[in-house]
A and B are shown apart, each in its own frame.
Chain A
Amino acid sequence: MRPVYVLGVGAHPWGKFPQKPQLQLAIEALSAALTDARLGWRDLQGLVAASSRFEGGMGWGLHANEVLQAVAESGVPAVNVGGGCAAGGIAVHTAAAMVASGECEVIAALGAERMPKGFIPRPPGCPDDITDTDYLRWVTMGATNPVYWALEARRRMHEFGTTAETFAKASVLMHHNAIANPRARYRAECSVEDVLHSPTVSDPLHLLEICAVSDGAAAVILGSEEQARRLGVPKVAVAGSAVATGQFGDPAVRIPTVSTTVGASAPHTSEVAGAVRHALDRAGMGPGDIDFVELADNTAWHVLAWPEFFGFLEPGQSDWMIEHGQMGIDGKLPVNPSGGFLSFGEATTAQGVLQVCELAWQLRQQAHGRQVPGAKVGLSAVLGLGANGASVVLKA
């Protein structure tokens, strides 16, 4: 397998864009990434798309072939990957593998999403019986997604004494980081009081501690070392990437299940923990080699819990880190210098690609106003519905 380099990255700002079709968001993001790489459409030798279920692709969600047919009918291979909200990370991993194998010299990974309003509806055609837990969780108890995260947050308060103020500080940090990020949707400073005075959605989680849903699109262009040298782009390598699924016995209460079979051996959030471990292994690194992380902060609880689950911190240590500013951009373990999902809102399948864009901007020292000083190695971690996880390690 040969080394893989990031040739270019690009993203459409996150927000609500009712006037722009998903395909247009996708094309704008991909076009920005090509410009960043100093490449044209004719240079793409393949396209991997993270398939969204909400729009496009003649019912299958965003498809790479649809993008190519809209803007460059070049005949190159189109690969469409699923994996729920982890699909963006899976797309980057797949594109990297296609370069590493020698199949492509230049390839793009793409995610674009326009989210429906309000609660995410069940897909059409699902059975109304016990074989569909997404049906059961609604009819038997009305378990919204925040319920699942709130159960974890409440348990954390019990086990580690995490306070409402500490959760609020995690959200305050995410919003603070986003102020300087031109692509973030929410760019206003908020205080602990603002967070705690926002409506309680699922106790102990408040509205400002739970990510919204947004529209957005992001693209990453990957290529061989020869291409990186030829283009003269900043040297950022894919040091490691991995896709993983859930492990038996994982104590996480997974959306949309109504029970979990708890065992002794599996790590919490094993689909992501497994991906992070394999990505680090492939990079020949450990958590101590990582300068900052971009992780899927669907809630403030994720900001605290995930770095512990993945071996970056000891269980319970995140509270101290937040309280002492050590997860901030100048801290010991900067978490989501981009501002994370809490500041962007989740554009589901595009999110995993956007994380990798942020890794690249940070490693090229182009993250103006939110730059992690001297960042050389960054790691992304994303989770998708149905026990999917993906992680990418980039190195300058």
Chain B
Amino acid sequence: MVETLEQVPVAEDLFRWSGDGADLVGTRCRGCGAHYFPKSLSCRNPQCEHKAVEEVLMGRRGRLHSYTVQSYRPPALFRMEPWAPYAIGLVELPNGLRVMGMLTGCALFDIRIDMPLELTVEPLYRDESGRDVMTYKFQPTAEGTA
């Protein structure tokens, strides 16, 4: 018998995932087209008087702009089990946004700036109700497809 575990996002309305892949949920300004993540109340472009934003799914792929390895365990609000040093990347998406997120699927010493990445969703820990709590991460993808 295959056990099917319930999966819940670490925060609601931040990303979506299915067998088809994962998407970040953000907003786009109906006036100037600027993108925001997470969803914003308003457009922030001072030259834009439209201000109304609509929900939009961000591109799934990007390039690594910078990264760091977190060597110390962050305070308790962050749960990751089991804990081990991990990388956080700053990822440039085709729409111009740079998004921070954990990196996965890559040894810490193999991380390179400009490497192509794609969005994925993975469990951080199992909560007290036995559900896997999921967050978004970026993982390396084949060159030329980003």
Residues of A within 8 A of B (CB): 118-119, 122, 129-130, 133, 135-144, 146-147, 150-155, 158, 199-205, 247-248, 251, 253, 258-263
Query: In whole angstroms, what is the CA distance A38 to B14 when docked?
Result: 58
Q: What 8 new A-B contacts, CB under 8 Å, besides A152-B66, A155-B66, A202-B71?
A: A136-B11, A140-B136, A151-B67, A201-B71, A202-B68, A202-B70, A253-B100, A261-B96
- Whether the Cβ atoms of B66 and A248 lie closer than 8 Å is no
B106 on the A face (CB < 8 A): no
A135 to B14, CA, bound (A): 12
B-chain residues with CB within 8 Å of residue A251 when the two chains form the complex: 98
Q: List 22 A-B contacts (CB under 8 A).
A: A118-B75, A130-B11, A130-B14, A138-B75, A138-B78, A140-B102, A142-B74, A143-B100, A144-B70, A144-B72, A146-B68, A153-B68, A154-B66, A155-B113, A158-B66, A247-B46, A253-B90, A259-B36, A259-B98, A259-B99, A259-B100, A260-B98
The interface size of chain B toward A, counting residues with CB under 8 Å, comes to: 44
Interfacial residues of chain B within 1-32, with CB under 8 A of chain A in the complex: 10-14, 26
Nearest CB in chain A to that of B45: its residue: A248
In the A-B complex, the 6 residue pairs with the smallest Cβ-Cβ separation, listed nearest first, are A142-B78, A142-B74, A150-B68, A138-B77, A155-B66, A203-B69
Is there an interface contact between B68 and A203, defined as CB atoms closer than 8 Å?
Answer: yes
Evaluate whether A140 and B90 lie within 8 angstroms (CB atoms) in the complex, with A147-B70, A152-B66, A203-B71 already known. no
CB pair A200–B71 under 8 Å, yes or no, is yes
A-contacting residues, B47-81, CB 8 Å: 47, 65-75, 77-80
Q: How many A-B residue pairs have CB under 8 A?
A: 132
Which residue of B has the minimal Cβ distance to A253? B90
Within 8 Å of chain A (Cβ to Cβ): is B146? no
Instruction: With CB as the reference atom, state the residue of chain B lying closest to A128.
Output: B11
Is chain B's binding surface mostly helix, strand, loop or mixed?
A: loop
Q: Which residues of A contact B123 (CB under 8 A)?
A: none
Q: How far is the CA of A258 from the CA of B89 in the complex (A)?
A: 11
- Nearest B residue to A152, CB-CB: B66
Contacts of A137 in B (CB 8 A): 100
Q: B46, B77, B101 — which one has the most chain A CB atoms within 10 A of its CB?
A: B77
Asked if A133 and B66 make an inter-chain contact with CB atoms under 8 angstroms apart, the answer reads no
B residues whose Cβ falls under 8 Å from a Cβ of A: 10-14, 26, 34-39, 44-47, 65-75, 77-80, 88, 90, 92, 96-102, 113, 135-136
From B36, B68, B71, B136, give the contact of A151 (CB < 8 A): B68
Give the nearest-CB partner of A138 in chain B: B77
Contacts of A146 in B (CB 8 A): 68
Q: Which residue in chain B gives the minimum CB-CB distance to A202?
A: B68
Tell me the dominant secondary structure on chain A's binding face. Answer: mixed
CA distance A142 to B47 in the complex (A): 34
Min CB distance A133 to B, Å, is 7
> Is A151 touching B14 in the complex (CB atoms < 8 A)?
no
C-alpha spacing A141/B97, complex, angstroms: 18
B10 near A142 (CB under 8 angstroms)? Answer: no
Known: A155-B65, A259-B98, A262-B96. A140 touches B70 (CB 8 A): no
Chain A residues contacting B102 (CB-CB under 8 Å) are: 140-141
- Chain B nearest CB, measured from A199 CB (Å): 7
Point out the residue from B12, B67, B72, B74 that lies within 8 Å of A138, measured CB to CB: B74
Residues on A with beta carbons closer than 8 Å to the beta carbon of B46: 247-248
**Closest Cβ–Cβ distance, residue B29 to chain A (whole Å):** 10
Of all chain A residues, the one with the shortest Cβ separation from B47 is A248
Q: Tell me how far the C-beta of A158 lies from the nearest C-beta in chain B, rounded to whole angstroms.
A: 5
- For A136, the chain B residues whose CB sits under 8 A away are 11, 14, 38
In the complex, which residue of chain A has the Cβ closest to the Cβ of B135?
A: A140
Q: Which residues of B sit under 8 angstroms from A118, Cβ to Cβ? A: 75
Flag if A202 contacts B69 (CB, 8 Å): yes
Query: Which A residues lie within 8 Å of B13 (CB)?
Result: 129-130
- By beta carbon, the residue of chain B nearest A257 is B100
Cα–Cα, bound, A155→B96 (Å): 17
Q: Are B101 and A154 in contact (CB under 8 A)?
A: no
Residues of A within 8 A of B78 (CB): 138-139, 141-142
Bound complex: CA A136 to CA B100 (Å): 11
Say yes or no: A129-B80 contact (C-beta < 8 A), given A143-B100, A248-B44, A258-B37: no
Q: Which of B39, B96, B113 touches A130 (beta carbons < 8 Å)?
A: B39
Least distance between B14 CB and chain A CB atoms (Å): 5
Partner of B97, one of A140, A151, A261: A261
